[in-house]
A and B are shown apart, each in its own frame.
Chain A
Amino acid sequence: DIHMTQSPSTLSASVGDRVTITCRASQSISSSLAWYQQKPGKAPNLLIYKPSGLDSGVPSRFSGSGSGTEFTLTISSLQPDDFATYYCQHYNSYSWTFGQGTKVEIE
């Protein structure tokens, strides 16, 4: 089984900061990765897929990159609406795996 590990688990930042979240796979997964944002009490929302395609309606301050075993989600200038928890996700052979999540908090 492939395991996905996100870092950090919690991130404190201020509005306007550049923020980077890392997702590492236990083995190479090519470019097969997606990112989600989840706010408290709400369903997750797809941000990025494969691993740099921006989903429809997602602001351009979000970007994704990486391949192999290391991937990053970057928010170029953190906005008040971006304080949330972020998850990476991989798919392989009819099994979906999520990272444990990264909570972005107000510093």
Chain B
Amino acid sequence: EVQLLESGGGLVQPGGSLRLSCAASGFTFSSYAMSWVRQAPGKGLEWVSSISDTSIGTYHADSVKGRFTISRDNSKNTLYLQMNSLRAEDTAVYYCARPMPQPPREFDYWGLGTLVTVSS
């Protein structure tokens, strides 16, 4: 059974940093690209970042480019999101999700999410 389990969320002050983790199990992690998708309170879904299976390619939404960095450790079956220079508008539940290889590259598995709150 595929499982994705996020951790690392919490309360952080504006301008601060946080690192999210996503532990994957139940599939060959190193064979799949992975992504982060967030959802602000009461709002819709927003894609944040994605990384290829071998980490050669990393991609970020314009809203987080230059502040967030996605990475992975295939030996630990773990995905990361390093978030720096956090802003109030980054407050959201952050989901780890697995995109399929072919368009529309739908996300077939999602984690439960971890809440990040940026506030003073």
Q: Are B113 and A43 in contact (CB under 8 A)?
A: yes
Which of A46, A92, A94, A101 lies in contact with B106, CB distance below 8 A? A46
Residues facing A in B67-114 (CB within 8 A) are 95, 99-100, 103-108, 110-113
User: Known: A96-B99, A98-B45. Contact between A91 and B57, CB under 8 A?
Assistant: no
- In angstroms, Cα B86 to Cα A20, docked, is 39
Beta-carbon contacts under 8 Å, A34-50 to B: 34, 36, 38, 43-46, 49-50
Q: Contact check: which of B44, B45, B104 meets A32 at CB < 8 Å?
A: B104
Flag B37-51 by CB within 8 Å of A: 1 or 0 each: 100000011110010
Which B residues have a C-beta under 8 Å from some C-beta of A?
35, 37, 44-47, 50, 57, 59, 61, 95, 99-100, 103-108, 110-113
Which residues on A are within 8 Å of B, measured CB to CB? 32-34, 36, 38, 43-46, 49-51, 55, 87, 89-92, 94-101
Nearest first, the 3 A-B pairs at minimum CB distance are: A34-B106, A96-B47, A43-B110
